[in-house]
Amino acid sequence: MTKELFMTRLLDNSLWLIFLITAGLLFSNKNNYSNNNGVGFLVVFILITLWLLIGLLLLNKLVVVKGTNPLENRKIIIQILNNKFPKLKLDDSGQNIIRYDLKTSLLTWGKRITVIFQDENIYLNITTTGRYDIKSPFHSVFHYFTLKSIGKQFKDRNNSR
């Protein structure tokens, strides 16, 4: 990994954390926590912070799906992804890495799907991007569960053959 790429990823993930800390400092000085509204705000703020921290941990995580035959693995996973994401139109060109980017528009988030085939294993990642390709940790938890369900579908189809 080059130094520029490392710094870009560090800055990308650190911006969300800096935003949270700054927002917390700004709101903590303005609210009086002696009444119930302040406690409710504090609980909501802590939950959002936990959600984002978990999202940051899952942001670049690859979910491993164990397969048996590399050619069958490729067919099955492409079928599942095409059924799950019909707008993406994933094509199998025979490469070891498949990456599809759905660009961000005015009213929609972008999406990046990465599939890596290595021996009998398949590594999957889904990332939601905003403007200027900034990764969103808000969606990471949902994507993690989506990838786990894709893995379960893959095992079901692989066992039925």
pLDDT-based confidence at 133, cuts 50/70/90?
A: confident
Domain co-membership, 80 together with 54: no
CA-nearest of 79, 70, 58 to 156 is 79
- pLDDT above 90 for 138: no
Domain co-membership, 87 together with 102: yes
Average pLDDT, stretch 33-37? 53
Q: In this predicted model, what pLDDT tens digit does every residue of 59-118 receive, in sequence order? A: 888 999 998 888 888 888 888 988 888 877 666 677 888 888 888 888 888 888 899 998
pTM score over 0.85: no
- pLDDT above 70 for 5: no
Domain co-membership, 13 together with 48: yes
pLDDT greater at residue 68 or residue 21: 68
Domain count, the chain: 2
Residues 6+ apart with CB under 8 A from 31: 37, 38, 41, 42
Give the residue numbers spanning the domain of 39: 3-58
Domain co-membership, 7 together with 29: yes
Per-residue pLDDT at 28: 61
Domain co-membership, 67 together with 146: yes
- Main-chain phi, psi angles of 71, to 5 degrees: -70, -40
Domain co-membership, 79 together with 153: yes
Cβ atoms of 147 and 125 closer than 8 Å: yes
Domain co-membership, 154 together with 90: yes
Domain co-membership, 150 together with 74: yes
pLDDT-based confidence at 32, cuts 50/70/90?
A: low
Domain co-membership, 70 together with 27: no
CA–CA separation, 128 and 112 (whole Å): 6
Domain co-membership, 87 together with 155: yes
Domain co-membership, 93 together with 144: yes
Domain co-membership, 113 together with 135: yes
- pLDDT above 90 for 1: no
